[in-house]
Amino acid sequence: MGMRNKSQKSKIMKWLDSGNNITPIEALEMFGCFRLAAIIHSIKHQEKEFMKDKELVTSMVTNKFGVKYGSYKLINKKIQKTNLIIENRRILGLIR
Protein backbone atom coordinates (compact mmCIF):
# COMPACT_ATOMS: atom_id res chain seq x y z
CA MET A 1 0.00 0.00 0.00
CA GLY A 2 1.48 3.34 -1.06
CA MET A 3 1.97 6.38 1.14
CA ARG A 4 -1.04 8.16 -0.37
CA ASN A 5 -3.29 5.18 0.44
CA LYS A 6 -1.96 5.08 4.00
CA SER A 7 -2.83 8.72 4.59
CA GLN A 8 -6.25 8.26 2.95
CA LYS A 9 -6.82 5.23 5.14
CA SER A 10 -5.81 7.02 8.35
CA LYS A 11 -8.02 10.01 7.46
CA ILE A 12 -10.97 7.72 6.74
CA MET A 13 -10.37 5.83 10.01
CA LYS A 14 -10.37 9.13 11.92
CA TRP A 15 -13.53 10.26 10.10
CA LEU A 16 -15.34 6.99 10.93
CA ASP A 17 -14.05 6.99 14.51
CA SER A 18 -15.63 10.44 14.97
CA GLY A 19 -19.06 8.88 14.42
CA ASN A 20 -19.47 9.84 10.77
CA ASN A 21 -20.57 7.54 7.98
CA ILE A 22 -18.97 7.67 4.54
CA THR A 23 -19.95 6.90 0.96
CA PRO A 24 -17.70 6.49 -2.08
CA ILE A 25 -18.60 9.99 -3.38
CA GLU A 26 -17.78 11.56 0.00
CA ALA A 27 -14.49 9.63 0.17
CA LEU A 28 -13.55 10.94 -3.27
CA GLU A 29 -14.54 14.54 -2.47
CA MET A 30 -13.01 14.70 1.02
CA PHE A 31 -9.97 12.44 0.76
CA GLY A 32 -9.31 11.89 -2.96
CA CYS A 33 -10.09 8.20 -2.46
CA PHE A 34 -11.32 6.30 -5.54
CA ARG A 35 -11.44 2.86 -3.88
CA LEU A 36 -13.32 3.23 -0.61
CA ALA A 37 -14.45 -0.42 -0.52
CA ALA A 38 -10.79 -1.55 -0.70
CA ILE A 39 -9.83 0.76 2.17
CA ILE A 40 -12.82 -0.41 4.25
CA HIS A 41 -11.74 -4.03 3.62
CA SER A 42 -8.19 -3.16 4.68
CA ILE A 43 -9.41 -1.47 7.88
CA LYS A 44 -11.60 -4.48 8.75
CA HIS A 45 -8.85 -7.04 8.20
CA GLN A 46 -5.56 -5.28 8.96
CA GLU A 47 -6.35 -2.75 11.70
CA LYS A 48 -6.96 -5.17 14.58
CA GLU A 49 -6.25 -2.65 17.36
CA PHE A 50 -8.45 0.03 15.76
CA MET A 51 -11.29 -2.48 15.24
CA LYS A 52 -11.19 -3.79 18.84
CA ASP A 53 -14.79 -3.66 20.18
CA LYS A 54 -15.94 -2.06 16.91
CA GLU A 55 -17.79 -3.20 13.83
CA LEU A 56 -17.91 -1.64 10.36
CA VAL A 57 -21.48 -1.77 9.09
CA THR A 58 -22.40 -1.40 5.43
CA SER A 59 -25.79 -0.03 4.37
CA MET A 60 -26.73 -0.17 0.72
CA VAL A 61 -28.06 3.11 -0.66
CA THR A 62 -29.78 3.67 -4.02
CA ASN A 63 -29.45 7.07 -5.67
CA LYS A 64 -32.02 8.79 -7.92
CA PHE A 65 -30.56 7.00 -10.98
CA GLY A 66 -31.08 3.55 -9.42
CA VAL A 67 -27.36 3.07 -8.75
CA LYS A 68 -26.57 1.18 -5.54
CA TYR A 69 -23.53 1.91 -3.41
CA GLY A 70 -22.33 1.29 0.12
CA SER A 71 -22.47 3.70 3.04
CA TYR A 72 -20.10 2.67 5.83
CA LYS A 73 -20.42 3.40 9.55
CA LEU A 74 -18.30 2.36 12.51
CA ILE A 75 -20.26 0.97 15.45
CA ASN A 76 -18.67 0.88 18.91
CA LYS A 77 -19.93 -2.41 20.39
CA LYS A 78 -19.27 -1.33 24.00
CA ILE A 79 -21.33 1.85 23.63
CA GLN A 80 -24.02 -0.01 21.72
CA LYS A 81 -24.24 -2.64 24.50
CA THR A 82 -24.38 0.03 27.23
CA ASN A 83 -27.14 1.91 25.38
CA LEU A 84 -29.11 -1.34 25.00
CA ILE A 85 -28.80 -2.08 28.74
CA ILE A 86 -29.97 1.45 29.61
CA GLU A 87 -32.91 1.21 27.19
CA ASN A 88 -33.92 -2.20 28.60
CA ARG A 89 -33.83 -0.83 32.17
CA ARG A 90 -35.94 2.13 31.05
CA ILE A 91 -38.50 -0.22 29.43
CA LEU A 92 -38.61 -2.32 32.62
CA GLY A 93 -39.24 0.81 34.67
CA LEU A 94 -35.98 0.43 36.62
CA ILE A 95 -34.84 3.91 35.57
CA ARG A 96 -36.50 6.96 34.05
Residue type, 13: M
pTM above 0.85, yes or no: no
Residue-wise pLDDT for 18-43, tens only, equals 999 999 999 999 999 999 999 999 99
> In the structure, what pLDDT confidence band is assigned to residue 94 with cuts at 50, 70 and 90?
confident
Q: Any idea what the Cα angle at residue 31 is, between residues 47 and 46, rounded to 5°?
A: 10
